[in-house]
Amino acid sequence: MIKEFTEKIKSREIDVVQHTRKVLNEIKTLNKEYNYFNTISEELALEQAEKLRSNPKGRLAGVPISVKDCIVVKGVESTAGSRILKGYNPVFNATAVARCIDEGAIIIGKTSQDEFGFGGFSTNVGLDYKVPLNPFDKERATGGSSGGSGGISQKASFPHVSLGESTGGSIVNPASFCGVFGLCPTYGRVSRYGLMDYANSLDKIGPMSKSIEDAALVLEIISGSTSRESTSLNKPVENYSSFAGKGVKGMKIGVIKDAFAEGLDDAVRKKVWDGIKKLESEGAKYEEVSLPLTIKYGLSVYYIIATSEASTNLAKYCGMRYGKHEKLEGSFNEYFTKVRSKHFGKEAKRRIILGTFARMAGFRDAYYIKAMKVRTRIINEYKSLFKKYDLLVSPTVAILPPRFDEINKLSLLQNYMVDTLTVGPNLAGLPHLNVPVGFEKKGGKQLPVGMMLIGDHLQEAKLIQAGSVFGR
């Protein structure tokens, strides 16, 4: 879709300024109803379009790109969905954003999310923010935390890719609930420079789109190391988009049987199995495999590590250098405490408390260090399966997109459990892809079901091959 579109931009068959205006009008109207954007960057988008009109070039010439609010865009308010960063205007672009702009992309806005990524439904938005609504049923959640990115990717009538971000499943989960492709790459494949950290040993930036080929093209553009970010991997970047349509003949697929256990919605089970059979009919072979340690302990390990890292990463938000400020009075302790207590939302406070506890003297070895040791065993569990299989498969989320009244009734632990199937590949830094595999009718609405494919480190190309079996 993007390839044909950029040709029309370059041949001037489509006027990039007119097209951008049309896109801005569409997303403004959509936003009133669905809350997919925290900020629409109209001025920047039109400025980029004007510049491109005189010299249309790049692999993303004129393509509207939306960006999760936690990824910084120069001159556009970027808050990670938190009131504590209200008013923050970054003075630089994240590497992923800069690389898209260099290829002619038009940045249309910052998408809504759980505050700092703290959620699986996008209902934990920061104070004063609006919750995004599922594109298929406004009484249901988009999934999270990249909920705005998932919603706009589904609703956009124009060629579009969103830059999402995942710490424990925040790309594939909303992609599943919104019925789009979401590709979370290997840890370090895409530079985190300019990404506001949630948990820096887990955070990854990745594309979400209705088209797997378009998502692959954007991944190919944003991947690669930078000297500005020491955990970005210095490994060659493949032409990911060229793998769309290559098929799965001869691929060996491991079906994670522990993920099909009790608690899985019957409709999800059926549609995911239909997806597996489809891969088989295209020439892949599958066997059932087991990840007992990952499925049983992954969630605990994830929440201990993620909240520990989050509690240190969020220490910098204290009303000094950016975002919300208060009148300077009292000691630094009193001032920082005042700013933080007033402007962090409830879930941010809870996760700071959990993470600070897990790192405190007396508890650190039993929680934080122990969790990192169990993570090593989880990584080993996956690695031993990848000696034999090209890809692993499971449902992305065990349930259909829930209604908001259902989410409100969940306990905190039940709320965290929505991440059960997605934390594994995130803990192990493995690339994973949500593939929309069908719809289930519920309450008169068609709700999407997602299947998750997991690859070995740096095997994004295989995910794209398998994903494109389900439409490019």
Partner 1 sequence: MKGVKVDRNLILRVADNAKLSLTDKEIDEFLPQLKEVLEFFSSIDEVDTKGIEPSTQPVEIRNVLREDVVKPSLSQDDALANTEHKKDGYFKGPRAV
Give me the active site residues, please: 68, 145, 170
Return the number of the residue (57 or 296) whose C-beta is nearest partner 1: 296
**C-alpha to C-alpha distance for 95 and 8, rounded to whole angstroms:** 27
Contact, 154 vs 210, CB < 8 A?
yes
Return the number of the residue (30 or 299) whose C-beta is nearest partner 1: 299
**C-alpha to C-alpha distance for 41 and 38, rounded to whole angstroms:** 10
CB environment 328-360: b (16+ within 10 A), e (fewer): eeeeeeebbebbbeebbbebbeebbebbbbbbe
For residue 320, the minimal CB distance to partner 1 (Å) is 6
Return the number of the residue (230 or 446) whose C-beta is nearest partner 1: 230
Return the number of the residue (213 or 347) whose C-beta is nearest partner 1: 347
For residue 426, the minimal CB distance to partner 1 (Å) is 8
For residue 357, the minimal CB distance to partner 1 (Å) is 5
**C-alpha to C-alpha distance for 214 and 160, rounded to whole angstroms:** 8
Tokens, residue 187: 């840890």
Q: Measuring CA to CA, which residue among 238, 225, 183, 244 is closest to residue 96? A: 225
Cα-atom radius of gyration of the chain, to the nearest Å?
21
Q: Measuring CA to CA, which residue among 225, 243, 220 is closest to residue 103? A: 220
For residue 187, the minimal CB distance to partner 1 (Å) is 5
Q: Return all residues near 230 (Cβ < 8 A) that are at least 6 apart.
A: none
CA dihedral 56, 57, 58, 59 (to 10 degrees): 70
For residue 225, the minimal CB distance to partner 1 (Å) is 9
One-letter amino acid for residue 389 of the chain: Y
**C-alpha to C-alpha distance for 188 and 225, rounded to whole angstroms:** 8
Return the number of the residue (83 or 340) whose C-beta is nearest partner 1: 340
In this structure, the strands spanning 432-442 and 106-111 are unpaired
Cross-strand partners of 207: 163
- Taking the mean position of all CA atoms in its chain, how far away is CA 365? 31
For residue 304, the minimal CB distance to partner 1 (Å) is 6
For residue 336, the minimal CB distance to partner 1 (Å) is 5
**C-alpha to C-alpha distance for 189 and 347, rounded to whole angstroms:** 29
Cross-strand partners of 2: none
Return the number of the residue (31 or 225) whose C-beta is nearest partner 1: 225
Return the number of the residue (202 or 222) whose C-beta is nearest partner 1: 202
Cross-strand partners of 394: 452
Tokens, residue 425: 């590949």
